[in-house]
Amino acid sequence: MTTTTKTTTTSEELNLDEERKIFALHILGDKTRYKMFKLLMKNEEMCVSEIAAKLGVTTSAVSQHFRNFEIVGLVGKVRIGQKICYVLKFDDKLVKQLVDVANN
């Protein structure tokens, strides 16, 4: 009698990881959000007002876009006085992969 051993990762973990990648790619498929990502790649942290000024969009629009970044876990949020600033989570595996793709 032959026994077959199946080695798989938990399908739930795999699905969550895949869903996160898909959502991250969807987020970066938007031209404005892609530009925001590139700005954060070049700067350690940037405040919403700085990004809005560089891209010629409202601070409200930038904040709304960053909500998506936060949901997928690509950025960290820092409050400096009354300003909200964001930083890429460079220690995150997915962020590293996205940075590699954006650099090539």
Give the CATH number for residue 51: 1.10.10.10
Considering the domain boundaries, does residue 25 fall inside one? yes
Query: Tokens 């699905």 map to which residue?
Result: 15
Considering the domain boundaries, does residue 3 fall inside one? no
pLDDT, tens digit, for every residue of 18-36? Answer: 999 999 999 999 999 999 9
Considering the domain boundaries, does residue 67 fall inside one? yes
Considering the domain boundaries, does residue 15 fall inside one? yes
* Residue 68 domain boundaries: 11-99
Query: How many domains, the chain?
Result: 1
Considering the domain boundaries, does residue 104 fall inside one? no
Q: Is residue 94 a contact partner of residue 74, using CB atoms and an 8 Å limit?
A: yes
Q: What length is written for the chain?
A: 104
pLDDT at 1 over 80: no
Considering the domain boundaries, does residue 47 fall inside one? yes
pLDDT, tens digit, for every residue of 63-86? Answer: 999 999 999 999 999 999 999 999
pLDDT at 17: 86
Please provide the average confidence, as pLDDT, over all residues in the chain: 90
Considering the domain boundaries, does residue 1 fall inside one? no
pLDDT at 91: 96
Burial of 22 (0-12, 13-18, 19+ CB in 10 A): exposed
